[in-house]
Structure 1
Amino acid sequence: MDTMRDRLAPVVSRLLDEDPRVAVVLAEIGRDAFAAAQARHPDRVINVGIREQLLVGAAAGLALTGLRPVVHTFASFLVERPFEQIKLDLGHQDVGAVLVSAAASFDWPAGGHTHMAPGDVALLDTLDGWTIHVPGHPDEAETLLRHAVAAGDDKVYVRLSVQSNRLGRPVDGLRLHTVREGRAGVVLAVGPTLDAVLDATEGLDTTVLYGTTVRPFDAAGLRRATEAAGTDVVLVEPYLAGTSTAAVSEALADVPHRVLGLGVGRRELRRYGTVEEHVTAHGLDAASLRERIGSFVGAAAATGGR
């Protein structure tokens, strides 16, 4: 199966052909995939070199002229390194762009800590007005990329990963989707964590929600799920643990509730290893999730809420 990132250049290249507003800004990474599109649209496919602050600044300049820039590089170079430019050139100037990252939290372990960005969503969450998509399958990535480019002049972040669920699901860029219904707690799986969550909760009487758009947060969808399943909520995110716990608590502010935030830990793992080994080390494999989810929701989940 191809990866989410494999869909990026074909989708955006077609959009370049279809919409004269679309532009692409690169910082060396990904340039070969856009070579044909650059030959067709040399004025709208721009490679600024290894200058990530300029990457965002140039995108903001294009947006000021009325274009819809799609900006791509690894997450650590797209969100963390040029964060001041995201805050000022896009946010302060009130112009939009579509930031599309690769490498996610630890997709290239051999690249070391410089190429890991588990804090990217939490960092963007300090800014106002961002839509954040976290697809869990290449098909979903393609849909959400099209949503993002078509979203007027909004500020949108699309987080691509080599980690993927087995099946793509219908996504609309708005709502949480119910995958399994239960009566003893809600487990919200974000993006590529869904398969592990489904395996971990097999036989437990829990509702499983699936989220690929985490900002704005679908508070109404979560509230509907808790009406039948109760207000114990486990949040499983493929980035920094607890990133969305405040959003969950805000959605349930008027009712007693408990929230457990699972995700990537803060401790730096200093051995390269494999993606799978990093998943296990952070407790995001099915066996670890089952233990942690089961301990949190308690006996009710195992006995059908009785």
Structure 2
Amino acid sequence: MTTTATRAMRDVFLDTTAALIDENPRVALVLADISSGVPQVVRAAKAHPDRVINVGIREALMVGTGGGLAIAGLRPIVHSYAPFLVERAYEQIKLDFEHQGVGGILVSIGASYDRAAAGYTHFSPADVSLFDNLPGEWIVHVPGHPGEVEGPLREAAATDDRVYMRLSIAANGVPRETGGKLLPVKDGDGPLVIAVGSTLDAVLAAAEGTGWRVAYANTVRPFDTEGLRAMAGRDVVIVEPYHEGTSAHVLSEALADRPHRLLSIGVKRVDLHLYGSAADHDRHHGLDAASLSARIGAFAR
């Protein structure tokens, strides 16, 4: 899960956002210092100073500004590290987007623990589950490769939907086009194992030589429950790069009318008080290939 792609998701996001600002007079970018100094943003700010807004280290103001721009008819893209964008400014997401009934595109970097060496302030394994607590529908994209960023971002910019895109330095070896649906990747007669985002390569490594069926998801809200029902047998496993159990309620509800067993694997709800690397945290949380092989293998017996 921790392979770093040659061209990072963040780079693709910033390139695409700068192009969208040039192409579409509705698109605006709101920042709280993070990414404000990168060349793509500097150029876009010089060309369109009214639509590239850096509020400084004020994340609540950043989200509130995005909501205000949406009320004014613009299409805001609001960007920061996941814990600053989602957890720190959650009340503003709830009030200034959700309660006001307007849409925007929230794009995070950092994922659950990309910057493990920066400590717990930069961790956000709870971000996706927080959107499930909002009454309106959010579209949530979890790309597993930089090549899966531009398409959904451009599609989101052309709508007024509420969208959250979760970017990471972790990446699978190759991009996969899913169209927002569950994508079959490996056939078999064993349990259906759903890999979300950058977990796919580790899942495939764990599944080598087994009868597991593997499917890939990089859009998790709305979840492709129709595809799930078509593929699922008795045993279903979901491997997510954020809190373990985040999607369990969605899968269980989709399969409520049929006997099934569900195993959720993800970031454990513990504070490890560890720094190290993202790969270290993968191992501690059991998201490396060896741990997945052991845990899913025991479940599938």
The normalised TM-score by structure 2 is 0.96
Out of 240, 254, 267, the position equivalent to 1:264 is: 267
- Aligned AA for 2:251? V
Paired residue for 1:281, among 275, 281, 284?
284
- Structure 1 residue 171, shift from structure 2 partner: 2.8
Mapped contact 1:143–1:171 kept (Cα < 8 A): no
Q: Residue 20 in 1 paired to residue 25 in 2?
A: yes
* Local SS of the residue matching 1:164: coil
Cα distance, 1:110 vs. partner? 1.5
Equivalent residue letter for 1:143:
G
User: Which residue of structure 1 aligns with residue 11 of structure 2?
Assistant: 6
CA distance in 2 between partners of 1:200 and 1:194 (Å): 10
From 207, 210, 216, the counterpart of 1:204: 210
Is 1:86 the counterpart of 2:93? The answer is yes
Is the 1:25–1:70 contact (alpha carbons within 8 Å) kept by the matching residues of 2? Answer: yes
Q: 2: CA distance between counterparts of 1:147 and 1:201?
A: 33
> Is contact 1:186-1:207 (8 Å) kept?
yes
Report the counterpart of residue 50 of structure 1 in structure 2. Answer: 57
| Secondary structure at the counterpart of residue 155 of structure 2 | helix
Give 1:8-157 correspondences, 5 Å limit. Answer: 8-33=13-38, 34-127=41-134, 128-150=136-158, 152-157=159-164
CA positional deviation for 1:146: 1.6
CA distance in structure 2 between the aligned counterparts of 1:171 and 1:67, rounded to whole angstroms? 28
Deviations 1:166-208 (A, max 9, x none): 1111132x21111011112100000000000000011111210
Pairing partner for 1:244 from 243, 247, 255? 247
- Percent of matched pairs sharing the same residue: 55
What amino acid maps onto 1:224 in structure 2? A
Structure 2 SS opposite 1:278: helix
User: Match for 1:277: what amino acid?
Assistant: D
Q: Which of 189, 209, 217 is matched with 2:195 structurally?
A: 189
- Residue in 1 aligned with 2:298? 295
Distance (Å, rounded) in 1 between the aligned partners of 2:28 and 2:190: 48
Counterpart Cα distance in 2 of 1:225 and 1:171: 15
The whole-number CA distance in structure 1 between the counterparts of 2:156 and 2:198 is 19
The CA deviation at 1:8 is 1.4
**Contact map agreement 1:131 1:213 (CA 8 A) in 2:** yes
**Deviation of the 1:149 alpha carbon:** 1.7
Kept after mapping to 2: 8 A contact 1:69/1:97: yes
Q: Which has the higher contact order (CA 8 A, sep 6+)?
A: 2
Give the Å deviation of 1:224.
0.6
- Residues 77-119 of structure 1, C-alpha deviations (whole Å, 9 max, x = no match): 0000010110011000000110000000000012111110000
* Secondary structure of 2:208's aligned partner: coil
Deviations 1:10-49 (A, max 9, x none): 1010011111110000000010120100000000000011
Task: Give SS of 1:32's match.
Answer: coil
Is the Cα contact below 8 Å between 1:132 and 1:216 reproduced in 2? yes
Identify unmatched segments of 5+ residues in structure 2.
1-5
Tell me the distance in 2 between the aligned counterparts of 1:195 and 1:106: 18
Q: Which runs of 5 or more residues in structure 1 are unaligned?
A: 299-306
Shift of 1:139: 0.3
1:142 is displaced (CA, Å) by: 2.0
- What's 1:303 paired with? none
Provide the C-alpha distance between the structure 2 equivalents of 1:214 and 1:126, rounded to a whole number of angstroms: 15
- Structure 1 residue 161, shift from structure 2 partner: 0.2
